[in-house]
Structure 1
Amino acid sequence: MSIRNISSVDYVAGQVQQYGLAFVMVASYFGSGSVFIASQAGVMHGYTLLWAVVGAALLGFMAQDMSARLGIHGEPLMIFVREKLGRPGATAIAVFLSIGCIAWTLGLVAAVGAGVSFLLGGAIGWQPIAVVTTFAAIGVGLLNYDTVENVMIGMMLSLMVIYVIVALPSGANPGDIAVGFVPTMDTFGALAMAAGLLGTTALWPNFFLESILVHQKGWTEQSDLPDAREDLAIGYAVGGVTTIAILIAAAALLRPMGFTQLETFITPGEALVEVLGVWAMVLFVGGVIAAAFNSIIPIMWAPAYMVPQAAGVDVQKGDRLFKIVFASLTGVGVLSPMISRILDLSVVDMVILFPMYNGIFGLPVAAVLLFWAVNDRETMGEYRNSLKLNVVNASLVLLAIVLAALSMQDFLDLITGGGF
């Protein structure tokens, strides 16, 4: 290897070491839920909700910025909650939020199972594959942080390339796309889906993780904040572009073909095959598998930190207690087939509805706690929110609460009525 090549490798390695945390955060939100919520949004509402994708990415960035500042200048979010509300109150919140993480995992392992089952020609049902996926996620999640981060960087960049390649030949009208980036009256008929997009993008587990993991990158001073923000900007740009590409492909290809909803797990892929060829199906399903598996790990890291912290134990990733909580809660994923049967939900229903649940119930709680923390003088000192930041940050809290209130009934009707 030449000196020039060695220098290039060293440079890339240095960039990965300096940045990369946002890819872990974005990988957690960009799972099968994002793929299917974006596809469903495109099928049901055309380009109407493109503005919501951009808005959700900006709100996600904003929330992560608050969390990063809290970690740099204060303390991890759940430790703040414990200090303010005491162990019983913090534990109740941690358990309530952890239920949402488990629900996510149930949908994610089902998505991986369905994807692999399809690629195997149906020789094995999705249910046993989901069980195996659960144990695989536990194994990967227990690897050291740097290894997981590198995997997430590679997977997220690959996913963006995959879905942009699928979207480019879709024949979407640029004028119609441009209109979709502006909210219209049609938006009021798509609030539940907008809540789903927000809930799967401004991912509340990341509010807790970012405040912990900034120290993993060595970001401990005010001077490190620009690096943290640049990291977040890169990560959310990748996630946002990928989500937009999926929505455009669904709106341009599936909607004109008469689809009004995603009838099966592979409906988007089937439509893509008719227009673009078999390669599009392989890319779509492969992307779903990668996205779903990616998400399980950081999402389930959150309760593995939160529950011990709420109880008064400040764990690190390699600690025995962290490993036990992570493995135990992630292990509930083996029940995914049973939950599907009991609630009469398809795989698609689970990967859309469970992130929607988190957007409606988990996000408002976490957003209020985060907003409280960055405004607390005792915790943040001179770095607490300014009036300008409060005006901007309050938009996340208000939007989360309003969307939750407006879309809760639709969600309850779907979850109790057997899905879409």
Structure 2
Amino acid sequence: MSIRQAAVPDVLSGIVQKYGLAFVMVASYFGSGSVYIASQAGVTHGYTLLWAVVGAALLGFMAQDMSARLGIHGESLMVFVRRRLGRPIATAIAVFLSIGCVAWTLGLVAAVGAGISFLLGGAVGWQPIAVVTTVAAIAVGLLDYDSVENLMIGMMLALMVVYVVVALPSGADPRAITLGFLPTADSLGTLTMAAGILGTTALWPNFFLESILVHTKGWTNKSDIPDVRRDLAVGYAVGGVTTIAILIAAAALLRPMGYTSLKTFITPGRALVEVLGTWAMVLFIGGVVAAAFNSIIPIMWTPAYIVPQAAGYDSPRDSRLFTIIFAVGTGIGVLSPVVSSILDLSVVDMVILFPMYNGIFSLPIAAILLFWSVNDGETMGEHRNGWKLNVVNASLVLLAVVLAALSVRDFIGLISTGGF
């Protein structure tokens, strides 16, 4: 091997070591919920919610930037909450937020099970596969951080390629796509779906994780902020492009064929087969499986970090406490068939509604806490938000609260009536 050839892996290794945290964050938000929320948005509203995808990605970037600066200049978000509100209130908040993580995992586990079941030709039902998925997620989540990060980078890049390849031959109207990036009066009737997109993109667990994990990349002072922002820009660009590709494919292919909702887990794939061929079905469902499994790990890391921090305990990833909370919380995923049966929710309902739950109930709380922390002089010192950053960052809080208030009634109706 030549010196030049040997240098290529070294360069790639150096890039991965320097960057990559954003891919863990984006992998957590880009799960089956993102895939089906984007598909549902395209089916029910055409291209009109493309603006929401871009807006959600930008808001996610802003939130991650706040969280990273908090971790670099101050402390992790939940440590800040405990210090300011005290252990009992901080613990109550951590437990409430963790319920959302568990709910999310129930949907993600179901999605992996349903996807693998379909790829196996229905030889095995999704319910037993959900049990195996849960065990596998626990095993992967307890690997060393670098191994998980490398897995997330590879999976996210592969997912972007998969869904762009599916979307390119869809025959979408360029003019209609362009107009979809501009909010219009028609968008006012789509706020529940917009809340779902926001809730699954500006992911509240990442507000806590970024402030905790930022030190794994050696980012410890103000001079590292440009690297943080480059990392976030690349990660959210990959996630945003992937979501846009899915929405466009659904709007261009499913909507003209008369679909008004995603009746089954494989509805998008069936329509893709009719237009593009069997390969599109395999890519779509394979992507759903990979995206769902990807998301379980970082989402369930969150309770394992924040519940001990809220209670005043240190919980590094190699600690017994972290292992127990992560394994038990993730292990509840085996109950996804039971939840599906009791609430009369399909797999598609679960992977769309549970992210919506987090967008409506958990995101506003996390956004307010994060905004408070980066404006706290005692915590951030001279690095606290200036008025310009506050104007921009306040948009996340405002949008999260407004969308939650406007969407909660529709969400409760969907949950209580058996989904879509």
Q: Which deviations, in whole Å up to 9, do the C-alpha atoms of 1:315-353 show, x marking residues without a partner?
A: 111111101110011110010000000000000000000
Find the counterpart in structure 2 of residue 330 from structure 1. 330
Q: Which deviations, in whole Å up to 9, do the C-alpha atoms of 1:237-290 show, x marking residues without a partner?
A: 000000000000000000000000000000000000000000000000000000
Displacement of 1:359 after TM fit?
0.1
Task: Provide the secondary structure at the position in 1 that maps to 2:302.
Answer: helix
What TM-score results when the alignment is normalised by the length of structure 1? Answer: 1.00
**Matches of 2:3 and 2:17, distance apart in 1:** 21
**Matches of 1:5 and 1:26, distance apart in 2:** 31
Find the counterpart in structure 1 of residue 378 from structure 2. 378
Find the counterpart in structure 2 of residue 15 from structure 1. 15
Displacement of 1:57 after TM fit?
0.1
Displacement of 1:105 after TM fit?
0.1
Query: For 1:270-281, what aligned pairs fall within 5 Å after superposition?
Result: 270-281=270-281
**Matches of 1:396 and 1:214, distance apart in 2:** 21
Q: Which amino acid aligns with 2:304?
A: A
Find the counterpart in structure 1 of residue 204 from structure 2. 204
Asked if 1:170 is matched to 2:170, the reply is yes
Find the counterpart in structure 2 of residue 82 from structure 1. 82
Displacement of 1:314 after TM fit?
1.8
Asked if 1:267 is matched to 2:267, the reply is yes
Find the counterpart in structure 2 of residue 60 from structure 1. 60
Displacement of 1:4 after TM fit?
1.0
**Matches of 1:124 and 1:388, distance apart in 2:** 55
Q: Which amino acid aligns with 2:23?
A: F
Task: Provide the secondary structure at the position in 1 that maps to 2:200.
Answer: helix
Query: For 1:218-367, what aligned pairs fall within 5 Å after superposition?
Result: 218-367=218-367
**Matches of 2:237 and 2:245, distance apart in 1:** 12
**Matches of 1:408 and 1:125, distance apart in 2:** 33
Q: Which amino acid aligns with 1:84?
A: R
Find the counterpart in structure 1 of residue 40 from structure 2. 40
4+ residue runs over 6 A deviation: none
Q: Which amino acid aligns with 2:89?
A: G
Identity between Structure 1 and Structure 2 (%)? 80
Find the counterpart in structure 2 of residue 397 from structure 1. 397
Q: Which deviations, in whole Å up to 9, do the C-alpha atoms of 1:194-251 show, x marking residues without a partner?
A: 0000000000000000000000111000000100110000000000000000000000
Task: Provide the secondary structure at the position in 2 that maps to 1:201.
Answer: coil
Query: For 1:58-207, what aligned pairs fall within 5 Å after superposition?
Result: 58-207=58-207
Displacement of 1:36 after TM fit?
0.1
Displacement of 1:2 after TM fit?
1.9
**Matches of 1:112 and 1:160, distance apart in 2:** 18
**Matches of 1:233 and 1:261, distance apart in 2:** 32
Displacement of 1:5 after TM fit?
1.2
Q: Which amino acid aligns with 1:10?
A: D
Q: Which deviations, in whole Å up to 9, do the C-alpha atoms of 1:16-47 show, x marking residues without a partner?
A: 00000000000000000000000000000000
What TM-score results when the alignment is normalised by the length of structure 2? Answer: 1.00
RMSD: 0.4
Q: Which deviations, in whole Å up to 9, do the C-alpha atoms of 1:106-150 show, x marking residues without a partner?
A: 000000000000001101000000111001000000000000000
Asked if 1:414 is matched to 2:414, the reply is yes
Count of matched residue pairs: 420
Task: Provide the secondary structure at the position in 2 that maps to 1:190.
Answer: helix
**Matches of 2:144 and 2:404, distance apart in 1:** 36
Q: Which amino acid aligns with 1:161?
A: V
**Matches of 2:189 and 2:55, distance apart in 1:** 17
**Matches of 1:48 and 1:232, distance apart in 2:** 26
Displacement of 1:3 after TM fit?
1.2
Displacement of 1:92 after TM fit?
0.1
**Matches of 1:40 and 1:153, distance apart in 2:** 26
**Matches of 2:307 and 2:289, distance apart in 1:** 28
Q: Which amino acid aligns with 1:127?
A: Q
Q: Which amino acid aligns with 2:82?
A: R
Displacement of 1:370 after TM fit?
0.1
Task: Provide the secondary structure at the position in 1 that maps to 2:6.
Answer: helix
Task: Provide the secondary structure at the position in 2 that maps to 1:183.
Answer: coil
**Matches of 2:140 and 2:367, distance apart in 1:** 29
Q: Which amino acid aligns with 2:296?
A: I
Task: Provide the secondary structure at the position in 2 that maps to 1:250.
Answer: helix
**Matches of 2:181 and 2:407, distance apart in 1:** 21
**Matches of 1:316 and 1:228, distance apart in 2:** 22
